[in-house]
Structure formats: C-alpha cells, structure tokens
Amino acid sequence: MTDRNSSPRDGAGTAPVLELDDVHVRYGGSHILQGVSFEVPATGVTALLGRNGVGKTTTLKAVIGLAPRSGRILLQGSEIQTTSTAKIVRGGIGYVPEDREVFGGLTVDENLRLVAPDQGVEAPVVGRLFPDLVARRGQRAGTLSGGQQQMVSLARVLLRDNALLLIDEPTKGLAPKLVTEVADVLAEVARTTPVLLVEQNLPLVRRIADRVVVLDAGRVVHRGAAADLVADADLTRELLGVSMRREGVA
Amino acid sequence: MSDLVLLLATGLGLGALYFIAASGLSLIYGLMGVLNFAHGAFMTAGAYAAWLTMGALPTAWPVAGRLLVGIAAGVCVGALVGLVVEVVLIRPLYRHHIQQVLVTVGLSLAGVAAAQGIWGADPRAVDKPVWMSGTTDVLGARLPNDRFVYVLVAGLLFAGLLALLHLTRLGLVIRAGVENRTMVEALGINVHRTFTVVFALGGAAAGLAGVLYSQYAGAVSPAQGGSLLIFAFIVVVIGGMGSLTGTAVAAVVVGLVQQLANYYAASGVGDLSVVLLLALVLLLRPTSLKGATA
C-alpha cells in the first residue's frame, strides 16, 4: 500500500470527522470489504477511488448502515457501526446514493419536504444552489432529467446540517455540461462540509478533491493527496487502470 | 331496468365492503411488503368486539346507537391487534418474507380456532338497525338500505385515506416508502415507526370491515374474516399492491362482476367470475390496473 505524506489541503492536524477501522462487509458468501481502514478529515473532499466492483459504494453503504458490516466506524469520535441508518443520518451524515434514487412519484417539493417539512423548495440553500428546482417545484421527480434528479438528490441532503456528506458517483451518466454544474455545486458545498466522494471522473477529482483513498479488491491500497495521484500518470494507471487524457470533463 | 338498478346497487355495496377490507391490506403491502394473511383475523376480531359491545350495552338503547358504539369498539380492537402483531411478530421478521407469511397464516388459523373455542363455530346473530334492514325505492327497484351505508362508509374511508396520504407528513412518508423505503430511512426518517402506524391503520380498517360484514351477513362467525380476506386479496392484486385508487376501482369492479354473474349466469358463478377476472388482469396487465403507487 502507498501512503503519501499529507499536504496542507488534506485537513491533517484536525480530528477526523469519520474513521473506519478494520471494516468488513460480507454478502452471502462474498467478502466485499476485507478490513478497510481510513480516516476522513474534517474539511475538504476525500475521494474514494478504484476500479469497478472494488467496494467503493459498499464502503459508503457500510458507513450509513445499509450494508451488514463489522469493525469500527466512528463519526466525530462516536461509534456508529451498530446504529440504525435513520439515526446515523440524523446524527450528521448526509447520503447521496448512486443513481440518485429520488422518489419519482412525488413532486420536487415533496421530495425536499421529506427532509425539511416546513421548507421544501423554499429553503434558502435550494434557491441559492438549485434555482431550477424552485421553478419545477410541482413537477414529479420521475419526469426530471438525470441532471435535475441529481440536483434533487443533492438538495435533499443539504437541507440538514451535516457533519459529513457521502456522495456516490454524482456525475454518473450526466452530459458534460451537467457534470460541470454538479462539480460547481460540490465545490461550493465542500467549502463548509467535509465530503467523502466516490467518483470515476478523474478531472473532477483533480478539481475538487484534497485527498484520495484508493481501494482494490476490498482493501485500501493507497492514501494520499489527490494532486499527487492525478499528477502521476504511472501511479494512476497502476491503481485505477486509466489515463487522465482519456478521462471525462469537469 | 329495476333488476339492473338493484344489481348495480348491491354490487356497489359489496364492492364497498371489499374496499374497506382491502384498503388496509393494500397500504400494509405497499409500504412494508408484508402479505398479511392475518388481516382476516383482524376483521374477525373487530366483528366479535362489536358484537360483544352491542350485547353489553343496555337493550333500551336504539340499535343504531349500539351499532355506532360497536363500530368504534371494532375499529379500536382492530387497530390494537394490528399494532401488537406488528410490534411483537412482524417487526423481528422484516426482510424475511417467507417467515412473515408463515407467521401471519399461523395467526389467521389461530384466530379462527380461538374464536371457535370461545364462542363456538356456529354463527351468532347480530342486531341490525330497522332502517338498515329496510329498502328504498329507486327507479322502480327496492334497494336494501344497508348498501347505502356501506357505500357511504367506504367513500368516507377512501376520502380520509386520500387526505391522509396527500395532506399529511405521515402520508408523504408512506407514499415515499411505497416507492423506496430504504431511501426513506437513508433520509433520516424512522420508517419502522411509520410501519407500526400503518399496521394499526390497516387493523382499524379491517376491524371496520369485520363489523360491517357482520351486518351484511346478519351474524358473526369465526371464519367470516377469512372468507372476506380472499376477495380482499383479489381486489388488491387487481388494483395494484399499494395503490389506494386502484384498490377502490378494483373493489367496485369485483363487486359488480360478482353480482351480475350471479344473476345473469347462475348462483355461485359470481365467485368463479371474480377468479377469472383476476386471471384475465394478471395475463393482460401483470402490473395491475393502477400500478404500484399510493
């Protein structure tokens, strides 16, 4: 495993907001996470990278309690590995799942009122970051474009005061222009809230991530500064099997 | 003409009973994915609670007054039974669907056996208000008055449940949970508390159905809930699990088809025609009449 020295952008020196210590996840006979340990600093964006199927999404699900896990998981120093999903979320973790998972039969406003019953699209953060959603408040979320659904999914978690955001492939399947819009929102959000981001789009990682954690076959194989990884073509190819030149846009 | 009016009115009345019985079943399955075979036992519990309550009240009271109190008792007992069953038996078995089916089937059988053990297997006559036993002339047909009551109660229940689903936070959580309960929990909402409330609501609706069905049949009996449950399941499958509007439409269709077939074909063909209707819907529209939205 490689573990590069932390840069000033890492947030090193402050207490981590999230710690994973020897976390395992087993589904049936499959051992998906095999002793994953890493920390997420209390500031900035930590990108969780790796090839398809190495356990990135499972790691987020283990943190939020949507995957059967063992090991220790600490949020702001408190153990949460036996806590229910709803309590973990109310305790300060916002989760934006892969594929958005908006409630298609509910309107945009209703999707948001699930989290903020008294505000919905009237919440200031929605007007500031997602003005398009205000105009579409009465539209069923299932009829929105992929990018708009991603905005609903992001807006939903931003209605709470979060200690940490878990965001799973927010640009997956989006057109380049929308990728840029989502990246702008993430960069804005990350100014005030630490983010653990699963993302395949390396230019986006280069733009907004401070630290990277790379998984392979359910284990952490690299930790370090994001800038160092994306600047090192050989290391990127070795760990992720991709070249920056062929990657998407941000 | 008068025959057709009579058949339509009685079919609507029967459909109203089916809707009341099926509405709770539909909500419970839609949100929680629980096929509640104990729903018939909830109906039986409500019916016996009303019968016992009416019997315990002074006979000097008008029957209608005793029936109203009996309905309240039936609804409360149904809700209480639903709540206890969810907390004690269903909650430990979420995501274990086979075990849920086994538990609810077992509860259903145990409920019938318990009622037989306590009150005997024979039907016990229930008092019926004089007006509900009478008829009203409409377009030359003499329509049984109790059918108006069933349709009115079903209409009020439908409107109340729609208001609950669309005007309250609980309803919003239920509608979201019907779509994706895991994501509801991932938004920090305690979906298990909602499960308990919905099970109690379903039990209350079942209790109401049990009381009204005993009025329709003129008696309470241990197996009554089970026979009504079969039609409730058919209605829910045709209308779409979790779809209240679909359940209402399917209940009316099933009630009408049953009555018309019984009259124009032969007595007893109505039940067969309902099963054929179910098969037809499953073949032509496997996702049901309305899909799976609350």
Closest-CA distance of chain B to residue A229, Å: 32
Q: Are B138 and B5 in contact (CB under 8 A)?
A: yes
pLDDT-derived band of residue A10, with 50, 70 and 90 as boundaries? very low
Contact yes or no for A86 and B179 at CB 8 A: no
Q: Are A182 and A190 in contact (CB under 8 A)?
A: no
Length of chain B: 294
Q: Are A211 and A226 in contact (CB under 8 A)?
A: yes
**C-alpha span between B34 and A44 (Å, rounded):** 43
**pLDDT > 70 fraction of chain A, expressed in percent and rounded:** 91
Contact yes or no for A105 and B179 at CB 8 A: yes
What are residue A66's phi and psi, to 5 degrees? -100, 0
Smallest CA-to-CA distance from A55 within A201, A227, A213, A190 is with A213
Q: Are A205 and A199 in contact (CB under 8 A)?
A: yes
Joined together, the tokens standing for residue B214 give 């005993």
**C-alpha span between A106 and A114 (Å, rounded):** 10
pLDDT above 60: residue A151:
yes
Q: What's the Cα-to-Cα distance from A149 to each of A100, A112, A127, B38, rounded to whole Å?
A: 7, 12, 16, 39
Pick the residue from chain A with its C-alpha nearest to B167.
A110
Q: What's the Cα-to-Cα distance from B75 to each of A67, A98, A182, B68, B215, rounded to whole Å?
A: 39, 43, 51, 11, 15
Radius of gyration of chain A (CA): 18
pLDDT computed for residue A6 by the predictor: 43
Q: Which residues of A touch B172 (CB under 8 A)?
A: 106, 110, 113-114
- Sheet of A45-49: strands edge to edge? A2-3, A219-225, A211-216, A45-49, A195-198, A164-168, A93-96
Q: Is the ipTM of this complex over 0.90?
A: no
Does B272 contact chain A (CB < 8 Å)?
Answer: no
pLDDT computed for residue A232 by the predictor: 85
pLDDT computed for residue A244 by the predictor: 52
pLDDT computed for residue A2 by the predictor: 58
A166-182 b/e with 16+ CB inside 10 Å = b?
bbbbbbbebeeebbbbb
Strand partners, A198: A48, A168
pTM: 0.85
Radius of gyration of chain B (CA): 19
Pick the residue from chain A with its C-alpha nearest to B191.
A86
Angle at A52 between CA A47 and CA A54, to 5 degrees: 75
Burial (CB count within 10 angstroms: exposed 0-12, middle 13-18, buried 19+), residue A61: buried
pLDDT computed for residue B292 by the predictor: 46
* A3 SS3 class: strand
Does B84 contact chain A (CB < 8 Å)?
Answer: no
pLDDT computed for residue B140 by the predictor: 86
**C-alpha span between A126 and A120 (Å, rounded):** 8
pLDDT above 50: residue A9:
no
Does A29 contact chain B (CB < 8 Å)?
Answer: no
pLDDT computed for residue B182 by the predictor: 92
pLDDT computed for residue B294 by the predictor: 43
Q: What's the Cα-to-Cα distance from B247 to each of A248, B155, B214, B243, rounded to whole Å?
A: 48, 13, 22, 6
Does A13 contact chain B (CB < 8 Å)?
Answer: no
The series of mean pLDDT values per 10 residues for chain B, 294 residues long, is 88 96 90 88 97 95 96 98 94 86 94 95 94 91 93 97 94 90 94 91 96 96 93 91 89 94 86 89 72 46
Secondary structure (DSSP) of A153-186: HHHHHHTS--SEEEEE-TTTT--HHHHHHHHHHH
**C-alpha span between B187 and A153 (Å, rounded):** 10
Which of A63-67, A104-108, A216-220, B266-270 is least confident?
A: B266-270
Smallest CA-to-CA distance from B244 within B86, B79, B25 is with B25
pLDDT computed for residue B269 by the predictor: 87
pLDDT computed for residue B293 by the predictor: 45
Please report, for chain B, the start and end positions of each structural domain, with discontinuous segments joined by +. Answer: 2-289
Closest-CA distance of chain A to residue B242, Å: 13
Closest-CA distance of chain B to residue A94, Å: 8
Q: Are A44 and A155 in contact (CB under 8 A)?
A: no
What are residue A181's phi and psi, to 5 degrees? -65, -45
AA letter at A27: Y
**C-alpha span between B191 and A80 (Å, rounded):** 19
Length of chain A: 250
**C-alpha span between A122 and A144 (Å, rounded):** 19
The size of the A-B interface in CB pairs under 8 A is 52
- What DSSP element (H or E) covers B135? strand B135-138
* B141 SS3 class: strand
pLDDT digits (tens, 9 = 90+) for A175-201: 888 888 888 999 999 999 999 999 988
Joined together, the tokens standing for residue B106 give 């077992």
pLDDT computed for residue B8 by the predictor: 93
B96's torsion region: left (phi>0), alpha (psi -120 to 50) or beta?
beta
Contact yes or no for B180 and A89 at CB 8 A: no
Closest-CA distance of chain B to residue A91, Å: 9
Q: What is the mean pLDDT of chain A?
A: 89
How many CA atoms within 13 Å lie on the side-chain side of A55? 27
How many CA atoms within 13 Å lie on the side-chain side of B95? 3
Does A74 contact chain B (CB < 8 Å)?
Answer: no
Q: Are A116 and A180 in contact (CB under 8 A)?
A: no
pLDDT above 50: residue A249:
no
